[in-house]
Each structure stands twice: as structure tokens, then as C-alpha cells.
Amino acid sequence: MEPIVLNEFGEVLAMPVSFDGNDTTVLGRGVRGKNSCLACAGYHQHCSGDIMIVCISNTHNALCCGRCNLRVVIPNEVATYGALRQWCLGRIEREGIMGNKDKGLVGFGAP
């Protein structure tokens, strides 16, 4: 399966070589516990950290990298790798490549 570009910065969710799923494969989902649920969705191609799906509310989950703290909030309706690919692509197209620059979120030390 092709890696999934998660945001306008080109950060990528990749799967191990042993992963035999495709775009119709359901994203790994843990069982909601008292505080959160965790399931591994793949790894962050840039830092090699595990990307976990974390339940953050009744309506949204977050993809969180355990190494660099990347966080991408997604609606609960995004249930498969294909749906995640389409949702991320739509978000990138809506926000545009320079979306965060226009919002003044270029990075630390920016005026």
C-alpha cells in the first residue's frame, strides 16, 4: 500500500513491509478505556516513530507520533486507510500548501 501524506508539510504515514492491507483495510482501533484508546496505524516515515490512533472525543481521534509528537486530528468517520488518504488529501487541498504560513504559524522565531 502506498504511504499516506498526512498534512501540507508532507509528513507521511507508512506501513511496515509485512503489512498486507489496502485502502479498504479498517484503521487499527483500540477499545475505549477510561481515558483513551490506542491502536497502531503505522509509522511516521520521517522519524520512524509509531503513529498511534488515540480517541480524544466522541467525534474525533488523533493520529499521534510517539517519537516526534506529530498530531493530526481526524473525524471518527475516517475508518479505513483509503478514507484517511482521501480526508488528508481534501484537507491539504482546502488549506493549501501555504495555509499555515498565511495563518502566521510558520514556526518558532517567526515574526
Q: What is the pLDDT of residues 33-86, one digit of tens each?
A: 434 467 889 999 999 999 999 989 999 999 999 999 999 999 999 989 999 999
Q: Looking at residue 108, what is its pLDDT?
A: 41
Q: Which residues pair with 106 in a beta bridge?
A: none
Distance of alpha carbon 4 from alpha carbon 89, whole angstroms: 9
Q: Looking at residue 1, what is its pLDDT?
A: 85
Distance of alpha carbon 93 from alpha carbon 83, whole angstroms: 15
Q: Which residues pair with 74 in a beta bridge?
A: 61
Q: Confirm if 26 and 80 have CB atoms less than 8 A apart.
A: yes
Q: Looking at residue 106, what is its pLDDT?
A: 44
* Count of C-beta atoms within a 10 Å radius of residue 93: 10
Helices marked H in 8-111: 81-95, 99-102
